[in-house]
C-alpha cells in the first residue's frame, strides 16, 4: 500500500481521501481530540482541497521575513 513521494506530492488531498475510501470500502472517519491534539482544531471539520493547501502555503511563504 506504499505510495511514492512523487505521487503523494502531486495528488490532491481530496483525491487521496477518495482513493483510500474506495480501497477500504467505507468512508474514512476523522476524530479530533481537542485540545490534546497539540495544534488545536486544524482541519477539524473537513479536508482542504489541493488548491486551498497551495494557497495557504503561498500565503505563509509571502509572510516570511526577507
- Report the interhelical angle of 13-24 vs 50-63 (nearest 10°): 140
Grid cell, residue 39, equals 495544534
pTM above 0.75, yes or no: no
Domain ranges in the chain are 5-63
pLDDT in tens, the chain (66 residues): 588 888 888 888 888 889 989 999 998 887 656 554 444 445 556 677 788 888 888 888 888 776
3 φψ region: left (φ > 0), alpha (ψ -120 to 50), beta (else)? beta
Q: Where are the alpha helices (DSSP H) in 1-66?
A: 5-10, 13-24, 50-63
Amino acid at each position: 500500500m506504499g505510495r511514492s513521494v512523487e505521487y503523494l506530492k502531486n495528488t490532491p488531498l481530496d483525491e487521496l481521501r477518495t482513493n483510500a475510501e474506495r480501497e477500504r470500502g467505507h468512508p474514512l472517519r476523522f476524530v479530533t481530540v481537542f485540545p490534546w491534539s497539540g495544534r488545536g482544531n486544524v482541519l477539524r471539520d473537513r479536508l482542504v482541497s489541493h488548491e486551498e493547501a497551495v494557497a495557504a502555503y503561498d500565503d505563509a511563504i509571502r509572510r516570511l521575513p526577507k
